[in-house]
Amino acid sequence: MTRVLHAIGHALAVAGGMTWQIIWSLILGFALSGVVQALVRKATITRLLGDHRPRTLATATGLGIASSSCSYAAVALARSLFRKGADFTAAMTFEIASTNLVLELGIIMALLLGWQFTVAEFVGGPIMIVLIAVAFRLFLRRRLLDAARAQADRALAGSMEGHAAMDMSVQGSGSLLTRLRSADGFTSVAQVFVMEWAAVLRDVVIGLLLAGALGAWVPDSFWRHLFLTGHPVLAQAWGPLLGPIISVFAFVCSIGNVPLAAVLWNGGISFGGVVAFIFADLIIVPILVIYRKYYGTRMMLFILGTFYVTMALAGYAVELIFGTVGLVPATRNASVLNAGVSWNYTTVLNIIFLVLAAVLVWRFFATGGRPMLKMMEGGPDDMGSE
């Protein structure tokens, strides 16, 4: 019994140490997301995504980055945009960018894995989007798309529908700075901040606990055999294929994937395998079930197949590019087992940003935000957005 309790304590200590390493970056990322989403209206997004020309897909990518969301909310919002008239390819591009090309994800990857992984994410993401656009153009048939639209219009509930339907942007006229500095602007930022935290908190906690358990309990020999570390060439070929499969069955999405990625990197998965693993938060089993509700079984399988192939190819591309220029890290020292609490710049930043978070949470509840939390899991039409 003592050994069991010690093992559990060790896993929780690892998870707690990683949490302390990233808490300030999460608060910063969601605060900046709140500022952007306070100024960008969802009606504007729909209007700009009417086709799948390169310029439109570039716009969808930029708007997705600005509209940072948890994976469930991003998937729900993409369906909402599609129902309102957005092009399907543009909606999927928006979905990918709003989960995998956002600031808070990049900061946390830099903290736990290293800056090279952050750069790789922002290089691999556009590669995946281009590959998705090509694949959809070549293989997405009109009959399948029409069937998906008919299924989408049935408005079956998935997850985070109420959250995706909410438009918390500042209304009214005036410059962006004027709107942001107003009382309504402060309230809007606080609303987005708290709602985004509420949306991702479950996955972040699960991801940290899983990473703590795997980092503390799984022996290095298991990872070495799984990732073929004794065969460098095979390991590079195997990593981008295996990474998404692990993600699918990890049941963790969004930012919660990063601590797990750190464990996998320390265990020996290839550089491209880490990137492919992070991208695959959009094809985990619970989200595949939601795709089936939203678009039907055939479209769910089409999304699964095209996303998996393009995620793997993006991982290979990143491995090749970064290997050629010598940017693949030579050591595997992700902040997992050695993460801890001490008086350093991380502690100072955590204190500062925890105060900021407390102010935003206070503003949220002081301005009647509690009912919004109750509506997060509402139906897709509950907010009158569609």
Give the tens place of pLDDT for each residue, 19-44. 777 788 778 877 877 787 777 676 67
Are the C-beta atoms of 259 and 208 separated by less than 8 Å? yes
Give the tens place of pLDDT for each residue, 222-252. 988 999 998 999 999 999 999 999 998 876 7
Any idea what the Cα angle at residue 153 is, between residues 309 and 385, rounded to 5°? 100
Give the tens place of pLDDT for each residue, 56-94. 999 999 988 877 667 887 888 899 889 888 999 999 999
Q: How far is CA 264 from the centre of its chain?
A: 18
Residue showing tokens 């069991």? 4
- Exposed, middle or buried: residue 355 (CB in 10 Å: 0-12, 13-18, 19+)? exposed
Percent of the chain as helix, strand, coil, to the nearest 5: 75, 0, 25
Question: What are φ and ψ of residue 46, in 5° steps?
Answer: -60, -45
Give the tens place of pLDDT for each residue, 305-343. 999 999 999 999 999 999 999 999 988 877 655 555 667
Residue type (1 letter), 356: L
Band of pLDDT at residue 386, cut at 50, 70 and 90: very low
CA 194 to each of CA 357, 361, 375: distance values in angstroms, whole numbers, following the listed order: 9, 6, 13
Confidence (pLDDT) at 111: 84
